Each structure stands twice: as C-alpha cells, then as structure tokens.
Amino acid sequence: MSDAYLQMIISLTAVITLIFVLAYGFKKRRKGVGFMRLVEYLSFGPKRGVAALKIGKEVLIIGVTPTDFRLLKTVDEAYFIEHGAGDEGESFADVISKKGILNIPGVK
C-alpha cells in the first residue's frame, strides 16, 4: 500500500514540475516573438499618460485615459535613431519634449 502512495506522489510531482517547465518555456519563447512592443510609458496620473508603441518600423504615440486610447502621432523609427533616442540615457520623454513631436502648447 505504501509503495502505491509513493509512486503516486512521485508521478504527481513529475507532472506538476513538467507543467511549470513548459509554462516557463512558453513564456520565454513568447517574449521574443511578435511585431508589437511597448517602448515606453509616461504617466500623467492614475490611468493617464502617453505610450510609445513600436509596430514594425513605426512608433505610435498613443494618449491613454481611463476611458479612451487615442493615436496622437505616428513617427518612423528612423526619427528616433536620427535624433539620438537612447543616447546617453536620453529617454522617450526627453526626445518628444526636445524635438516637439507632439507640439502640445504648454509642454516643453
């Protein structure tokens, strides 16, 4: 009787371990696949902000509110490379504020 319990516990442990290993593998594999990536998100308060979403060779600047998503601007990836995004720790916020991508009055 105790041999049956021991075999059942070993089998159950093996199955649970296999499930976790497969889940971890699928999660790792999925990160590298896909054509859409969140570049950066700037929060302006609870559930409000601006997101930069890279899709293919374009970067979409999207305004986010609690009830809505709006496309503010579409910029080529080359624009950010050309204007030094990522150089010397320059962030997405620095690039859009310095280069006036959004041209929002009152925002530097």
Alpha-carbon distance 84 to 39, whole Å? Answer: 15
Alpha-carbon distance 92 to 36, whole Å? Answer: 17
Tell me the whole-structure pTM to 2 decimals. 0.51
Reported as a single tens digit per residue, the pLDDT across 50-107 is 888 888 888 888 999 999 999 988 888 777 666 555 445 566 666 666 555 555 544 4
Query: Angle CA(35)–CA(100)–CA(72) in degrees, nearest 5?
Result: 45
Whether 107 is in a domain gets the answer no
pLDDT of residue 87: 47
Same domain, 59 and 89: yes
Same domain, 44 and 84: yes
Q: Which residues form the domain of 58?
A: 36-99
Alpha-carbon distance 82 to 97, whole Å? Answer: 15
- Residue 5 amino acid letter: Y
Same domain, 90 and 41: yes
Same domain, 58 and 84: yes
Per the structure, how many domains does the chain have?
Answer: 2
Whether 15 is in a domain gets the answer yes
